[in-house]
Structures are given as structure tokens and as C-alpha cells.
């Protein structure tokens, strides 16, 4: 097995960073700054939510991998969207939109999709895949929805909820990988690293 490359997370998400640290990793964070709206526009209206998630993850990973300071590193790019009623939902733009989303989602189910894209700068190899977890939402009252949106949390995350934060109380159950709903699937990360010939356990501190 070759030397273990430095791990770089191409994401500003504190949840993803905390998840990786909890899994035994100590990544460096470099935010890509890609124009997500432009990428989605380029995909066109017929793109599936999974295609959107993977394209955004790929763009973030490749943008950071193009930086000179990432030479030899393993770059991880991720992006999450909630597929609800056949449409991809990212972060709501306004509090009003977040309230409307929760009124629509409560008592129903959606699929949290996280695109993962890895770029190994040392070998030039890349690997990517989408993880999917079904989210069954509870039925918070109108007052609970307003209180939740007032915290600001739904405006910062895909699908207008977090499973590991305040919004977890409004999710009845998950079908699939919990870590994927946090923002990065640990099982899928291990699989993609193996495809690139990188030992997952070598990073454990």
C-alpha cells in the first residue's frame, strides 16, 4: 500500500468536518467556492436529484484539487440534496420558503442524496458515487415549524433540516445510512477510498 496521502475536505460544512473527526480523521479544510447555481443550470431541468448531487460534489472536489497547495493530497468533495416529490431541494433561500417546505414535508418521506467525489492528486485517479437514505418526517405543529425556522438552522442545510441538530426531533426514522444524512456516508467513503487504493484505517489517530 502506498503512503497515506493528506486528507482534504472540500466543504465548508461543520457537520461533515465533525463527522470525519469523529470517525478518526483529521482533514484540512479548503472551500471550493464553486458557483452551485451555474452548475445546476448547466445540467438543465431534466437532471435527476442524484445527478445534481454528484455533479456538485465532483465540481467541488476538482476545484480544490486544482489548487497548488493540494499536491499529493486526497480531496473529498460532497454535496447533499433532498429529493422530495421528484425534485431536488437544497438550502431554502428564505425563512418563508423553509416554513413552506416543512408544511409540505411533514408526515411524508423524502430521500437524502449525498454526492461523494474523491480526487487523488498523487495518482490522478478519481472515484465518485451517490449515497441515498430515506427520511420519514414527523408532523411538527405550525408553532413548532415557526420555532424551528426562527433558529436559522433550516436555512443553512440541504432539505431545511439536520438529523444531528435541532431538526432531529422532527424526523421519525431513517431507512439507510445515518451518517449520509449528516452529510457524508462513512461506508461509501471507505468504499471509494478502497477503489483508489487508499487504506481507510490508516488515517485513524
User: Sign of dihedral through CA atoms 49, 45, 36, 99?
Assistant: negative
Q: Is 94 exposed, middle or buried (0-12, 13-18, 19+ CB in 10 A)?
A: exposed
* Residue 91 φ/ψ, nearest 5 degrees: -80, 135
CA distance 107 to 31: 35
State the burial class of residue 22 (Cβ atoms within 10 Å of its Cβ: 0-12, 13-18, 19+). Answer: exposed
Give me the active site residues, please.
79
Amino acid at each position: 500500500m502506498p503512503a497515506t496521502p493528506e486528507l482534504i475536505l472540500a466543504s465548508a460544512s461543520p457537520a461533515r468536518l465533525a463527522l470525519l473527526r469523529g470517525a478518526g480523521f483529521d482533514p484540512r479544510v479548503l472551500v471550493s467556492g464553486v458557483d452551485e447555481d451555474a452548475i445546476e443550470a448547466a445540467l438543465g431541468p431534466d437532471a435527476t436529484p442524484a445527478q445534481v448531487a454528484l455533479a456538485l460534489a465532483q465540481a467541488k472536489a476538482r476545484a480544490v484539487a486544482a489548487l497548488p497547495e493540494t499536491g499529493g493530497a486526497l480531496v473529498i468533495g460532497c454535496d447533499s440534496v433532498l429529493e422530495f416529490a421528484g425534485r431536488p431541494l437544497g438550502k431554502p433561500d428564505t425563512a418563508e420558503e423553509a416554513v413552506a417546505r416543512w408544511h409540505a414535508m411533514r408526515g411524508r418521506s423524502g430521500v437524502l442524496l449525498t454526492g461523494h467525489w474523491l480526487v487523488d492528486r498523487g495518482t490522478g485517479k478519481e472515484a465518485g458515487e451517490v449515497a441515498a437514505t430515506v427520511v420519514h418526517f414527523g408532523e411538527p405543529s405550525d408553532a413548532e415549524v415557526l420555532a424551528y425556522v426562527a433558529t436559522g438552522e433550516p436555512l443553512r442545510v440541504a432539505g431545511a433540516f439536520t438529523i444531528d441538530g435541532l431538526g432531529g426531533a422532527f424526523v421519525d426514522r431513517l431507512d439507510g445510512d445515518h451518517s449520509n444524512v449528516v452529510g457524508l456516508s462513512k461506508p461509501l467513503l471507505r468504499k471509494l477510498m478502497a477503489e483508489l487504493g487508499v487504506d481507510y484505517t490508516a488515517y485513524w489517530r
